[in-house]
Chains A and B, each alone.
Chain A
Amino acid sequence: MIENRPGLNLLAHLTLIFGVCVVALPVWVAFVASTHGATDFMSGTIPMWPGPHLVENYSQMLGAGVSTSGTPPVATMMMNSLIMALCIAIGKIAISILSAFAIVYFRFPFRGLAFWCIFITLMLPVEVRIVPTFQVVADLGLLNSYAGLSIPLIASATATFLFRQVFLTIPDELTEAARIDGAGPMKFFRDILLPLSRTNIAALFVILFIYGWNQYLWPLLVTTSSDYYTIVAGIKRMSDAVDGLPQWHLVMATAMLAMIPPVAVVIGMQRLFVKGLVETEK
């Protein structure tokens, strides 16, 4: 990218703009659909420009929901999703940073075994262990609860390894200086490791929040009470109209609303996120 040829620049920009359009088109269609009335989308031609029903559709979804599909108002579902996503993201970070701390800085019996146990969980995502996990959660009486929604998803080998790599880049001298300065293990963790992993925590938070927000299969299984429906699973329930046509304009409005929190997290934490991924110097 050192050469500076206008033609090449133009081509590059056109390619990128084309790419953006391809990605943005479905989102645009969804937005347009959410601003039209109930029948406009069934008429055969899909409108490409926003219609007059924006405020009406969105306020109906936020406030009342669609009574026929048995889903609660979107506001409730979004709150459920938010709680679940936050629990998963924060829980994953807390557990994995502590286990990485243990693996990197302590010599304990069966350390190698512990390391491999964590590693093995990489091969066991929820989808693989869904039946036994459901059984356990049901036996513990955690169906229809935030704990049941989030705890089975919290263990994370990936995040543990990420923090392990971060800790390995922290020079040994820093650990030794802290030891000589009289910082015990937990003090060292709190005063030195946590602040130094700040950007990595932020980057991981963004990724994990979106992971938690987008959970679909697990919430669908463990929530039977509409009080605990999450928004992603809720959209699915809404589009399953038993008799009659799905109310696409309302489904799309819900989809648009469901996108807001992840987008907000990404935009809000973008700078920390990029820093956390590219920063190497400690």
Chain B
Amino acid sequence: MASITLDNLGKIYAGGTRAVGDVNIDIADGEFIVLVGPSGCGKSTLLRMVAGLESISEGEVRIGDRVVNEVEPADRDIAMVFQNYALYPHMSVRQNLAYGLKNRRTPKAEIDRRVNQAAEILQIGKFLDRKPKALSGGQRQRVAMGRAIVREPAAFLFDEPLSNLDAKLRVAMRLEIKELQKRLRTTSLYVTHDQLEAMTLADRLVVLNGGRVEQIGTPLEVYRRPASAFVAGFIGSPAMNLIDAGAVPFLPGSAHAGQVGIRPEDMDVTPEGPIHMQVTAVEELGAQRLVHGHTAGERMTITLPSDAALSDSLRLTPRPGALHLFDRETGMRMD
């Protein structure tokens, strides 16, 4: 167990391309941090720099009080779970779990104890003598997590561990990872491109874009007060409506802003609402429906209860305090 500090961390590749820059994150002991961003935003690079699989061009990584920039991955006291599981195909599940401990010359009895304990936590006891090939995707994922658990490391690093699973299993495993982390209280750094996964898992979110940190905060902070137009559009599903301020001059504050953001659920249908929306399509989700359309040439989506009345054109009123204003040049939040 340990805190992790990323201090002005940066990565510049041999050709001079900057993949990551100026990253400052303080991760408390036992905290679950999720790095989220679109593909190519540098989140995996960042994780691999913490793991020691990628060299560090600028700044420092500290695990506990120790600067680990030049420390081999095996000596950083971390464990990593990979997207494609990276299980050793020729070893049984038991050997897979024990391999890292064996290399560290852990006594045999201790290895057995830890392997059995991990197998019990993850309910993979039945498969211990099988080869990874004979397991399903979800079971392989559990084994990959087991390999991290048996090490009893200072931190878990997850690199999109659920991406290869089908949607239903992904939701189930997501919850399991969360419960497991709460139980073990091990500091965790988790990379994903799926904002829903990020929201549900994180104690705190780190939203990355173009190799830079856009915002750090709890899921609700980030959702309620996105620091930039990028975060506003990235976090939340369906995505926030970002409308050019010029198209809606009647909304308060829009005179100074570049873009106005309104969440789809933050609008009510009212007879005299200022926003006039032409409906083009409706998606039924069961509990609610997504209504797509446009207003003054801008695309717009709102969520309505599934029993709400529909017509080709709707008049909408934004709820009080639901407007997010973003600067014209920088895209940053204005208030």
The judgment on whether A and B are partners is yes
A residues adjacent to B (C-beta < 8 A): 171, 173-174, 176-183, 187, 191-192, 195-196, 198, 282
Contact of A177 among B52, B72, B80, B104 (CB under 8 A): B80
Beyond the given pairs A179-B74, A180-B78, A180-B100, 11 more chain A to chain B contacts, judged by CB atoms under 8 angstroms and listed by A's residue number, are A173-B82, A173-B86, A177-B80, A177-B87, A177-B147, A180-B51, A180-B53, A181-B74, A182-B75, A192-B90, A198-B90
User: Counting CB contacts under 8 A, is B55 at the interface?
Assistant: no
Residues of chain A lying within 8 A (CB to CB) of residue B79? 180
Q: CA–CA, A180 to B148, complex, Å?
A: 10
B73 interface residue (CB < 8 Å to A)? yes
* Minimum distance in angstroms from A46 CB to a CB of chain B: 53
10 contacts between A and B (CB under 8 A): A173-B82, A177-B80, A177-B82, A177-B88, A179-B73, A180-B78, A181-B100, A182-B75, A191-B88, A198-B90
Is B249 part of the binding interface, using a Cβ–Cβ cutoff of 8 Å?
A: no
Complex Cα–Cα for A195 and B87 (A): 14
B129 CB, min distance to chain A CBs, angstroms = 17
What per-residue 1/0 map shows which CB atoms of B218-260 lie under 8 Å from chain A? 0000000000000000000000000000000000000000000
- B157 to A, closest residue via Cβ: A180
B103 touches A171 (CB 8 A): no
Given A171-B86, A282-B89: A179 and B53 within 8 A (CB)?
Answer: yes
Interface string of B86-115 (1 = CB under 8 A from A): 111110000000011001100000000000
Residues of A within 8 A of B83 (CB): 173
Enumerate chain B residues within 8 angstroms of A183, measured Cβ to Cβ.
Answer: 74, 99, 103
Min CB gap A186→B, angstroms: 12
Cα distance, A187 to B75, chains bound together (Å): 16
Bound Cα distance from A35 to B212, whole angstroms: 84
Which chain B positions have C-beta within 8 A of A198? 90
CA distance A182 to B72 in the complex (A): 9
Interface check B84, CB cutoff 8 A: yes
- Considering the chains assembled together, what is the distance between the CA atoms of A99 and B84 in angstroms? 28
Given contacts A195-B90, A196-B90, contact A182 B82 (CB under 8 A): no
- In the bound complex, what is the Cα–Cα distance between A174 and B86 (angstroms)? 5
> In the complex, are the beta carbons of A196 and B100 less than 8 A apart?
no
User: Residues of B contacting A177 with CB < 8 Å?
Assistant: 80, 82, 86-88, 147
Chain B 4-23 against A: per-residue CB contact (8 Å), 1 yes, 0 no?
00000000000000000000
Closest 10 CB pairs of A and B: A181-B100, A182-B74, A173-B86, A182-B103, A177-B86, A195-B90, A173-B82, A180-B73, A179-B73, A176-B53
A196 to B104, CA, bound (A): 22
- When the two chains form their complex, are residues B82 and A176 in contact, meaning their CB atoms are under 8 A apart? yes
Counting chain B CB atoms within 10 Å of each CB, the highest count among A171, A177, A180, A198 belongs to: A180
Instruction: Please tell me if the beta carbons of B88 and A174 are within 8 angstroms of each other in the complex.
Output: yes
User: For residue B82, which residue of chain A has the nearest CB?
Assistant: A173
B273 to chain A, nearest CB (A): 53
Nearest residue (CB) in B for A195 is: B90
Contact with A along B169-211 (1 / 0, CB 8 A): 0000000000000000000000000000000000000000000
A164 to chain B, nearest CB (A): 20
Chain A residues with CB under 8 A of B52: 180
Report chain A residues within 8 Å CB of B82: 173, 176-177
CA distance A174 to B144 in the complex (A): 12
Instruction: State how many angstroms separate the Cβ of B102 from the closest Cβ of chain A.
Output: 9
Contact call A173/B84, Cβ cutoff below 8 A: yes
- If A179-B53, A180-B73, A180-B78 touch, whether A191 touches B99 (CB-CB below 8 Å) is yes
Q: How far is the CA of A204 from the CA of B72 in the complex (A)?
A: 35
- Check if B103 sits within 8 Å of A181, measured CB to CB: yes
In the bound complex, what is the Cα–Cα distance between A176 and B85 (angstroms)? 11
